[in-house]
Amino acid sequence: MANNNRSRTRSRSNRNTKISNTFNKYSSKSKPISNHSRVEREEINREVTKKEAITFGIILLLVILGIVFLGWFLTLILFIGCSLIYIIIKKLINQKNQKRKKIATIALTAFLLACIAAVAGLCVFMGYIAISAPKFDKNKLNQKESTIIYDADGKEITKLGAEMRENITYDNLSESLINALIATEDSRFFDHNGVDIPRFVTASIKQVLGQSNAGGASTLSMQLAKNKFNGDEARGIEGIVRKFKDIYVAVFKIEKNYTKEEIIEMYLNSWWFAQDGDANYGGICGVEQASQYFFGKSVSDLSLPEAAMLVGMVNNPVYYNPYIYPEMINLFLMH
């Protein structure tokens, strides 16, 4: 009997001890945070806020640089892609698996460093393009007209000059010609700032894949930049550098100094269309002179098929010349 009482007493004592330990365990968690712990937590929060501010500043800087050098479309695509990669790596870092967490941390660091290096490289490259681009001379965009010699009665005797050209203003261009030009050469001309990013990216991908129909994706402004300032080098590294010089001159020089209408005017007044054979001048230049030469009327009176033929000659003045290939005029008139 005494042994049973002692056993019960010991059991109650052990139970009370467990209850006391459990109470102390949970009550310790509910103790108020000491001033020391609160200060540490506030310092941690400040550090986190500081890092977030720095990260936001870097992202904002990269976005601004992207919009300036790449345009909003490509910047948006890159931003979405980088954000998805960042989110995936972040989730891997938050996993409990220490090995995966370590690999994800290394991958995130490498990814961020690669982004910074890419942006820095882009800035250096664009800086080189801006420095090495030819000096922008507005006089190169002003097309000189041929000199006309008249007799005493005011009748034209001949024209003199390196090129036979009669300039025309945008207001005197036919709507058919403008529509044909935009549809053929630069469908988003009135929407972009000198470079058509979606078209440029698509053409670049096709060129990398070796597709023959990739095209050059040059806008009207870029074509002016190439023809008047940068030359026509198209191969290798020199071709790539020249293409970016075209973009730089088109975006930061031509589009910043001229309206869209003025650019179309300069573009159409600049092209060589045919060789007339007269010793006094080098050829038929400018769309007005071409219209007079091929159709005997002003460019403002052109029909859509006639306008389409002249726009086709911008790409290939020999192949679409009706005097050399008469069947080509039928091709345009049929449409």
Please give the Cα distance from 255 to 148 (Å, whole number): 33
pLDDT of residue 182: 93
Give the domain ranges of the chain: 38-132, 141-333
Q: Return the DSSP state at 140.
A: G
pLDDT of residue 306: 87
* Residues contacting 291, CB < 8 A, separation 6+: 297, 298, 299, 302, 306, 310
Could you read off the pLDDT tens digit of each residue along the chain, which spans 335 residues? 544 544 555 555 555 555 555 545 444 444 454 555 666 666 666 665 666 676 666 677 767 766 665 666 667 777 777 777 777 766 666 666 667 667 767 777 777 788 778 778 877 888 888 898 888 888 888 877 766 777 777 777 766 666 778 888 999 999 989 999 999 889 999 998 898 888 887 877 776 666 666 666 789 999 999 989 988 766 677 888 888 899 999 999 999 999 999 999 999 998 888 876 554 456 788 899 899 888 889 999 988 888 888 888 888 888 878 778 777 666 655 55
pLDDT of residue 315: 80
Please give the Cα distance from 197 to 218 (Å, whole number): 10
Tokens of 50: 């500081």
How far does the chain reach from its first CA to its final CA, in angstroms? 120
Closest CA to 195 of 250, 258, 125, 122: 250
Question: CA-based Rg of the chain, rounded to a whole angstrom?
Answer: 36
DSSP bridge partners of 156 = 150
Q: Cα-flanking dihedrals φ and ψ of residue 158, to 5°?
A: -160, 175
pLDDT of residue 262: 95
Please give the Cα distance from 262 to 251 (Å, whole number): 15
State which CATH number among 2.60.40.1170, 1.10.10.10, 1.20.1260.60, 1.10.3810.10 fits the domain covering 141-333: 1.10.3810.10
Task: Say if CB 285 and CB 271 are below 8 A apart.
Answer: yes
